[in-house]
Amino acid sequence: MFKQNLGAVDRVIRIGLGIVLASIGMLVLKGTASAVVSIVAVIPLVTGLIGFCPLYVPFKLSTVRSK
């Protein structure tokens, strides 16, 4: 679908950050802050899992190693 623009290290960092944010949002925070942090956690988690970041496109960035 989209050309991957996230390298392995970038993906691992994003997935880890998404898991940490989701955990904080669900287990530590309460109320509105919990909902906001949990929703924001989805962004790095999804981009890490699919390997594509739409914000990299306009800046022509890529962390994928070239062969």
Q: pLDDT tens-digit profile of 29-43? A: 999 999 999 999 999
Q: What angle do CA 67, 43, 63 make, to 5 degrees?
A: 15
Task: Specify the number of domains making up the chain.
Answer: 1
Residue 13 pLDDT more than 80?
yes
Query: In angstroms, how far apart are the furthest CA atoms of the chain?
Result: 47
Q: Which domain holds residue 31?
A: 8-56
Within 8 A by CB and 6+ apart from 7, the residues are 62, 63, 64, 65
* Residues 25/38, Cβ–Cβ less than 8 Å: yes
Residue 67 pLDDT more than 80?
no
Domain-embedded: residue 64: no
For residue 55, what pLDDT is reported? 95
pLDDT band at 11 (very low <50, low <70, confident <90, very high): very high
For residue 1, what pLDDT is reported? 74
* Percentage above 90 pLDDT, the chain: 94
